[in-house]
A and B are shown apart, each in its own frame.
Chain A
Amino acid sequence: MSIRSIAAVWAGKFTTKILKIVGSGGTSLPGKIVLKMCPNILQHLAGDMKIICVTGTNGKTTTCHVIRDMIEAKGNTVFCNDAGANLLNGVVSAFVSAATLGGKIDKDYALLECDEAALKSIVQYFGEKDVTAVVTNVFRDQLDRYGEVLTTVNKIRAGLEQLPNVKLVLNADCSLTTSLNDLPHSAIYYYGVNGPLYEVTSSDISDAVYCIHCKTKYKYNYHTFGHLGGFYCEQCGYKRQPVQVGLTKVIEWKDASSVVEMDVFGKKIETEVCLPGGYNLYNALAATTIAKLIELPEEKIVSVLGGLTTHFGRMEQVKLGDGTLNLVLVKNPAGFNEVLQFLIQQKPTGNIVFGLNDNYADGKDISWIYDVEFERLTEHAAGAKHFYFTGKRAYDIQLRLKYADFATEKFSVEKDYKTLITQLQQSGEQTFLVLSYTCMLEFRDKLSEFVPLKKYES
Chain B
Amino acid sequence: MADKKELHICHLYYDILNLYGDNGNIRTMEKRLAWRGIDSKVTKLSFGEVDTTEEYDIIFIGGGQDFEQELLVKDLFEYKADWLKGEIEKGTVILGICGGYQMLGKYYEAADGTKVDFLGGIDVYTTASDKRMIGNFVYEYTRDNGEEFPIVGFENHNGQTWLGEGVKPMGKMIKGYGNNGEDGTEGARYKNVFATYSHGPLLPKNARIADEILGIAYERKYGEALPKLEMEMEDAALNDIKKQLGC
Contacts and interface: CB of A to CB of B under 8 A. Distances in A.
B67 A150 contact: yes
Given A367-B199, A371-B21, 7 more contacts: A148-B66, A209-B15, A209-B16, A215-B71, A366-B154, A370-B24, A370-B200
Query: Which 6 pairs from chain A and chain B are nearest by CB?
Result: A370-B21, A370-B24, A367-B200, A395-B237, A367-B20, A367-B21
A148 B28 CA distance: 25
A76 to B, nearest CB: 42
Contacts of B237: 395-396, 398-399
A143 B205 contact: no
A42 B236 CA distance: 50
A374 to B, nearest CB: 10
B114 interface: no
Interface in B192-247: 199-201, 204-205, 233-234, 236-237, 240-241, 244
A40 interface: no
Interface in B1-59: 15-16, 18-24, 27-28, 31, 47
Contact of A403 (B15, B31, B136): B31
B241 to A, nearest CB: 7
8 contacts: A143-B156, A148-B66, A149-B65, A150-B67, A368-B20, A399-B236, A403-B28, A408-B233
Contact of B27 (A140, A144, A398, A403): A403
A206 B15 contact: yes
B135 interface: yes
B68 interface: yes
B200 A398 contact: no
Contacts of B156: 143-144, 365
Interface of A: 140, 143-144, 148-150, 206, 209-210, 215, 217, 358, 364-371, 392-396, 398-400, 402-403, 405, 408, 411, 413
A368 to B, nearest CB: 6
A399 B234 contact: yes
Interface residues of B, number: 36
B111 interface: no
Interface string B61-84: 000011110110000000000000
Given A370-B23, A395-B236, A210 B68 contact: yes
B19 A143 contact: yes
B247 to A, nearest CB: 15
Interface in B132-148: 134-136
B241 A393 contact: yes
Contacts of A395: 233, 236-237, 240-241
Contact of B233 (A143, A366, A398): A398
A402 B229 CA distance: 14
Given A210-B71, A215-B71, A396-B241, A403 B204 contact: yes
